[in-house]
Chain A
Amino acid sequence: MELLEQILNGVVNGCIYALVAVGLTLVYGILEVINVAHGDLFMVGAFVAYFAYVTTGSYVAAVGASVVATALVGWVMERVVFRPLQAQPRINSLIASVGLSLMLANGALILWGAEPRFFRTPLAATIVTAGPFSLSVQRGLVVAASLALIAGLSVFLRRARLGKALRACAQDLEACGLAGIETQRVVAFAFGLGAALAGVAGALLSPLSVMTPDMGLLAVLKAFAVVVVGGFGNVPGTIAAAFVMAIAESLGGAFVSATYQDSIVFVILALALMIRPTGLVRERLEENI
């Protein structure tokens, strides 16, 4: 029984890891840039959801506000920071993203203070009990919404015009420009989309936890590990890696050692780099999204 519950815990965590990591890998797929500030978008999403809920009393409005706010922040990040550095060595963008991360975390600290925030939605307060199992409806929503978003993203990337443009730009940005695709708009869209996914993750998780301005750091570290294991720029790989690592983390913490629970993700990262450095899901050379 405990085994089943721990797997379920891993699935819930995997949903959050997947949403955050997919945004990171989308940006990398196109620009080959790691955005260290991506975890702070998760934090911004959580805080915006908190304030929107406290103001309106509506969780739907809270999630909506979170999506809009983080997409906007992502778009601004691209326009103001990453676009001017596009022609420069990639290390410059990486360093700039570190600065962005510090700005966002400290900005949140100044704006919202260091006190932990939390809010209770009706869904988080509604507990469903089935025998020894006890779970909030909010946790079920995390799984359902995450899977729906992941499925929607897959369909979008395969079928929608803009989704195909995203995939094409990930293969060869320059060639897309020559072919008439407005690459700057596609890149900006990728940033906004990735940011929105991280924001949604924050909004979904916030009623179950507490929020602090520095909560983005661990999120980006785990997302980075997931992206490495799944394969940079490889969305299906990233999603698979998120669930594998989250379930391993949950089972390892429960049945092996709670002391080393956090290390499990990074042990898997190290093993993946040794055994399968290109990523969990084999990617075809002609496309990487």
Chain B
Amino acid sequence: MRSTGVVLAAAAFLLLTRPGGAQEVLKIGFPTCLSGPGAVYGESTSNAVRMAADEINAAGGVKGARVEVVLADGKCDPREAALAAEKLVINDRVHALLGGIASSPSLAVKAVAEREKVPMVEGVAGTNALTVKGARYVFRVVPNMAMYTAFSTDFLCTRLKPKRVAYVFQQTDFGTETSELSKAKLEACGARTVGWFPGRPDETNFATAITSLKAQQPDLTFLIHWPPAAIAFLRQAREFGLKSTWFNVGSLSGPDFTQKAGDLAEGFMGVNVFEPGSTRPLAQRFTEEYRRRYGKVPDWFAAGNYVAVKLIADAAARGGVSRDGIARALGETKGFKSLLGEISFDPTGQAPSVFTLFRYSGGRRIVVTESERMAAAAGK
């Protein structure tokens, strides 16, 4: 009697769990920053990837497979991002990963991706160490730091020509790399470094740095921090009477920052790869749909990850819904049309990029200059 019951139960189990008939799912894991100092970008990027997945599914999916984005909280911290990536790869069995938003956590996600042989597409982080020779599973649709600094320092050296430059930055891969690369290039064109202030990503007390900078009177200050720290810095700079032209590459270049900072950001200049006011048709369509769904304009973090999801889906359509198939197809990507321009990867997995430099003045973001597509080689 008992053995009959066991057999019947086992048969029922097998019948109920047999795979045939269930829709295939393309799972994309996203170890984003749902908390921590970069959480504002966690929200915008999560919105964008969900929107991308919904659009793909509404159009029939990927060869019949439904796209599902699985979020995990990497907290913009390398240790947490690695744990989140491992959970996505091992527990959730995702077919591909997105990056960890910031350079340090993305490098941690890269380590997981390479070890577990899961393709990863980075939509934000700029550290040069992400796309290097020999990294088979990592691809990036946005610029690397060498490209960013080549564009921004070219502008600064030829147009602004600062004489005294200070650096207030977060002591992470992103902040340190941006500052060191920029310092080297600006010193080469005659600017003197008058302040060097690394700090924590969650720093909110800049009194010591600002007091020192007041004595040095920098005409340009690189402010390479997340929005909470940057707003704290600008508030305290005003309080202490420190005046300078504030300059940022990437981390403060979303509309959210200038909106929150308000008049504190007067004169602020930033570099990014996407502006909501872009005239490119795909970019316009993205902005309008994002605004319709979420009631606000997207930032470039959202744009980069939206493109990353679309690219992974395209790769799955070409190579099959499997980790190896997607990785192979990503490596063969040529001329993929996106709101960031056409994407083709070089042997290191890096795509070329376009740039926008804007100035915040009188409550408006004014585009100062734009680049045509800059190849990775030109930036190195």
Contacts and interface: CB of A to CB of B under 8 A. Distances in A.
B39 A114 contact: yes
A209 interface: yes
A106 B239 CA distance: 32
A210 B240 CA distance: 16
Contact of A9 (B37, B198, B208): B208
A95 interface: no
Given A115-B40, A210-B232, A12 B207 contact: yes
A254 B200 contact: no
A136 B239 contact: yes
Most chain B CB atoms below 10 A, which of A212, A215, A249: A212
Interface stretch (A60-68, A230-238, A258-266, A269-277): A258-266
Contact of B208 (A6, A114, A214): A6
Given A210-B232, A250-B208, A258 B199 contact: yes
A119 B376 CA distance: 42
A5 B213 CA distance: 12
A2 B35 contact: no
B208 to A, nearest CB: 4
Nearest to B198: A259
Nearest to B41: A114
A118 B235 contact: yes
A114 B43 contact: yes
Contacts of B238: 127
Contacts of B212: 2, 6, 254, 258
Interface residues of B, number: 36
Contact of A214 (B35, B196, B207, B229): B35
Interface string B188-224: 0000000011111010110111011011000000000
B236 interface: yes
Contact of B205 (A115, A209, A258): A209
A214 B238 CA distance: 25
A262 B238 CA distance: 23
Contact of A210 (B171, B197, B228): B228
A217 to B, nearest CB: 8
Given A210-B204, A214-B35, A129 B241 contact: yes
A93 interface: no
Contacts of B34: 114
B126 interface: no
B262 to A, nearest CB: 10
Contact of B207 (A109, A115, A127, A250): A250
Contact of A215 (B171, B199, B204, B208): B204
A13 interface: yes
Contacts of B196: 258
Nearest to A115: B40
A136 B212 CA distance: 17
B42 interface: yes
B227 interface: yes
Contacts of B239: 124, 127, 134-136, 139, 208
A213 interface: yes
Prevailing SS type, chain B contact patch: helix
Most chain A CB atoms below 10 A, which of B42, B43, B196, B228: B228
A147 to B, nearest CB: 18
A116 interface: yes
Contact of B235 (A5, A106, A208): A208
A212 B202 contact: yes
Contacts of B197: 258
A209 B209 contact: no
B204 A134 contact: no
B36 A258 contact: no
A209 B260 CA distance: 14
Interface in A201-249: 208-210, 212-215, 218, 249
A247 B260 CA distance: 32
B35 A213 contact: yes
B351 interface: no
A288 B228 CA distance: 40
A127 B241 contact: yes
A135 B36 contact: no
A41 B236 CA distance: 24
A214 B202 contact: yes
Given A209-B235, A210-B228, A215-B202, A5 B37 contact: no
A263 to B, nearest CB: 11
Most chain A CB atoms below 10 A, which of B171, B229, B236, B239: B239
Given A114-B43, A115-B40, A124-B239, A13 B202 contact: no
8 contacts: A2-B214, A118-B235, A132-B214, A210-B232, A212-B37, A214-B36, A254-B212, A258-B199
Interface of B: 34-37, 39-40, 42-43, 171, 196-200, 202, 204-205, 207-209, 211-212, 214-215, 227-229, 231-232, 235-236, 238-241, 260
> When A and B form their complex, which 3 residue pairs have the shortest distance between CB atoms, in order from nearest?
A114-B39, A116-B228, A134-B241
